[in-house]
Structure 1
Amino acid sequence: MTTEPEISDPLGDWRIYRGDGLPHDRVRRLPPPPPWRRFSPEETAEGRGRREQRAISYRPDESVVDKVNAAVLLRRPLLVTGKPGSGKSTLAYNVAYELGLGSVLYWSITSNTTLETGLYHYDAIGRLHETSLRGVDRRTDAAEPPDIGRYIRLGPLGTALLPGDRPRVLLIDELDKSNIDLPNDLLNVFEEGRFTIPELQRLPEEQARIEVMTEDGGPRVPIQHGEVRCANFPIVIITSNGEREFPPAFLRRCVRLAIEPPGRERLAEIIEAHLGADARAASEGLIDEFLARRTDGALATDQLLNAVYLATSGSRPPETKLSEILDTVLRPIEMHGAG
């Protein structure tokens, strides 16, 4: 039986990985992660707490609050633009938490996203495979098809449009990454607050009511005659990094909000919300440096939070290393004026 070599451990050495090729168990000494990087494999209070922390710690300015209220009152989507890391997505979680509207329905957009992927998915191949395994009904000389509702799952947009006594919050993230048709395809759904599922509309009258699955994994919900029609229009928050323009017809149906980078006082409030009053008091110099660097390039607020955590946590690097590490953490995402 072999034993691991004893590793010298200088007092206050903050490093977990040492790079000397000698195995050790220093990973067991990892301090608790920052509040915004705590995960749980199950739906526990800890897992919910991380999402709640993200929502609670968001600090919108007055203009953001006004635009959100306008969109909610008008039952119109809120189109939010701003630099990466400015809190566009977090706004949706903050709204859902404050209004007690449950979990946010999240729809991440790529160049391959279509309207149908947001509305529903029908697993026709899976249903056909199960039909073949069931065998043939001797009375009809045909295979009995399984419950079609088990093979239809509403997407985030489709789930948001389900009728309910209160609206759901739907986050459509980075719509500017979509193909050119998706914004226009959304218009009719936004205007009518309804959509149909052709696979269910083709069923005979005795199967007019079918229970289907939802995006958030809740109980199956009934769909009548293949139509979903909302009772309360969802609170739709659409984010964009401003990488392209949207059609005028789409913009006309949205309340538009441009999020500006937070100023000194707002940054201090965000730090306190995440890390406490002591961290806020100790981070004045870092806020100054962050604001100075932001004039030369785009910096996200979470970069400042990372820097404050490194500088104020119990496992902080030594002073001789701290400046170099913070320089890496506060490196601009993009330089102003860069082509």
Structure 2
Amino acid sequence: MTRFSGSDRYIAPSDLQLAVNAAVRLQRPLLVKGEPGTGKTQLAEEVARSLGLSLISWHIKSTTKAQQGLYEYDAVSRLRDSQLGDERVHDIANYIVKGKLWEAFTADSPVVLLIDEIDKADIEFPNDLLLELDRMEFYVYETRQTVKAVHRPIVIITSNNEKELPDAFLRRCFFHYINFPERETLKQILHVHHGDIEAELVERALDVFFDIRQQNGIRKKPSTSELIDWLKLLMADEISREALIEKQEAQAIPPLAGALLKNEQDVHLLERLAFMHRRQKG
């Protein structure tokens, strides 16, 4: 299988490339952590695209149960069909709803299976998938069949660190933490998304962006995805580097800051800092 080395639309640092390829070689799930907006979900999409594989995505919610990833028995539909005299009711297999792991295990060719934001689910969720991900098989009690992986999928699991994951689960994964990109890497990412963007605008926007991230007391630091959105708005609004400087000096917060700041506490913090700065200058 071809090794992952990033793509034309995803800048993957060398350590991330090594992590992906190591997990594939070890046949272990790749557990990816990092700040929200650092491209964890997109990583799975780009691994699939660059290796020429299909992607099966399982986006986890707080109410998601591990069993749903395997299969669910639709007893309600079977009861309704029995009341209507439907012949389908005699075969229980008609009421087994396949989950994402079942899809991945029985695919005609290898796939990438994304289990996205696993930390949103109940603390027992990862443990409930231990054996299935380890052995690449599970048992369907209603039909008395064992579903085994025809081709072992590449499993990528993301977490935003909302809660700790069980040690037994962690032992079965290859772990990688995506560090927040450095300035030069961010420039490459911006050029991937925005093409021939004005260099001076990028430099000034990055100055403002990192100033916000480094402020003490910021509750929600702006992420890479929010920087990309902000630059898109700056370009659409034709705000030049000079105008950005002028507006920042004249206003408490940067122009179009709603793309960067996501709560009123952070807005008020920057307003207070700007007010103190103007008093000191005065």
Give TM-score, length-normalised by structure 2: 0.78
Give the match for residue 167 of structure 2.
248
1:246/1:278 CA distance change after superposition, 3 Å? closer
Answer yes or no: is 1:284 the counterpart of 2:203: yes
Q: Which residue of 2 aligns with 1:325?
A: 255
Change (3 A) 1:235 1:267: same
- The count of residues paired between Structure 1 and Structure 2 equals 247
CA distance in 2, matches of 1:262, 1:189: 34
- Provide the secondary structure at the position in 1 that maps to 2:10: coil
Aligned partner of 2:214 in structure 1 is: 295
Is contact 2:88-2:94 (8 Å) kept?
no
> Are 1:64 and 2:7 matched, yes or no?
no
Any idea what the Cα deviations from partners look like across 1:19-59, whole Å, max 9, x if unmatched?
xxxxxxxxxxxxxxxxxxxxxxxxxxxxxxxxxxxx85221
Rounded to whole Å, the distance in 2 between the matches of 1:247 and 1:105 is: 24
Work out the CA distance in 1 between the residues paired with 2:98 and 2:166: 27
Residue pair 1:271, 1:279 contacting (<8 A) in 2 also? no
Cα shift readout 1:308-329 (whole Å, capped 9, x = no counterpart) = 111112x547959975533332
Q: Distance in 1 between matches of 2:194 and 2:213?
A: 22
Question: 3-state SS of the aligned residue for 1:86?
Answer: coil
Paired AA for residue 194 in structure 1: E
In the aligned structure 2, how far is the partner of 1:272 from the partner of 1:106? 27
Q: Does 1:176 align with 2:119?
A: yes
- Of 227-236 and 58-67, more deviation after overlay is shown by 227-236
Where in structure 2 are there 5+ consecutive unaligned residues? Answer: 1-6, 249-253, 267-282
The answer for the alignment partner of 1:86 in structure 2 is 38
Q: Structure 1 unaligned runs (5+)?
A: 1-54, 136-142, 202-225
TM superposition shift of 1:126: 1.1
Distance (whole Å) between structure 1 residues aligned to residue 88 and residue 48 of structure 2: 43
| The one of 78, 83, 106 aligned to 2:57 | 106
**Superposed, which structure 2 residues align to 1:1-339 within 5 Å?**
56-102=8-54, 104-134=55-85, 145=89, 148-162=92-106, 164=108, 166-201=109-144, 226-279=145-198, 282-296=201-215, 297=218, 298-313=221-236, 315-316=237-238, 324-331=254-261
- Displacement after TM superposition at 1:111 (Å): 3.1
- The sequence identity of aligned pairs, in percent, is 39
Aligned structure 1 segments of 4 or more residues deviating by more than 6 angstroms:
332-335
Query: Deviation digits for residues 219-245 of structure 1, max 9, x if unmatched?
Result: xxxxxxx22100322111111111222
* Contact in 2 for aligned 1:82/1:242 (Cα 8 Å): yes
Per the alignment, in what secondary structure is the counterpart of residue 283 of structure 1? Answer: helix
CA pair 258-100 structure 1, distance change in 2 beyond 3 A: same
SS at match of 1:85: coil
> Residues 121 and 279 from structure 1, CA distance in 2 versus in 1: closer, same or farther, beyond 3 angstroms?
farther
Q: Which amino acid aligns with 2:162?
A: E
| TM-fit CA distance, 1:281 | 6.1
* Residue equivalent to 2:271: none
Distance change in 2, residues 1:235/1:144 (3 Å): closer
Write 1 or 2 for the structure with the bigger share of helix: 2
Change in CA separation of 1:147 and 1:317 when aligned onto 2, cut-off 3 Å: farther
Whole-Å Cα distance in 2 between the matches of residues 304 and 78 of structure 1?
Answer: 26
Q: Is the 8 A contact 1:171 1:236 kept in 2?
A: yes
Between the aligned partners of 2:107 and 2:231, the Cα distance in structure 1 is 44
Preserved CA contact (<8 Å) 1:272 1:279:
no
Which moved further from structure 2: 57-66 or 115-124?
115-124
In structure 2, the CA distance between the partners of 1:270 and 1:57, relative to structure 1 (3 Å rule), is: same
Deviation at 1:146, TM superposition (A): 5.6
Residue identity matched to 2:224: T
Structure ID, larger Rg: 1
Q: Does the C-alpha gap of structure 1 residues 280 and 171 become closer, same or farther in structure 2, counting only changes over 3 Å?
A: farther
- C-alpha displacement of 1:76: 0.4
Displacement of 1:72 in angstroms is 0.7
The structure-2 alpha-carbon separation of the partners of 1:303 and 1:111, relative to structure 1 and needing over 3 Å to count, comes to: closer
**Deviation sequence 1:86-136 (CA, Å, 0-9, x none):** 11111100101101112x22222233322211111222211231232236x
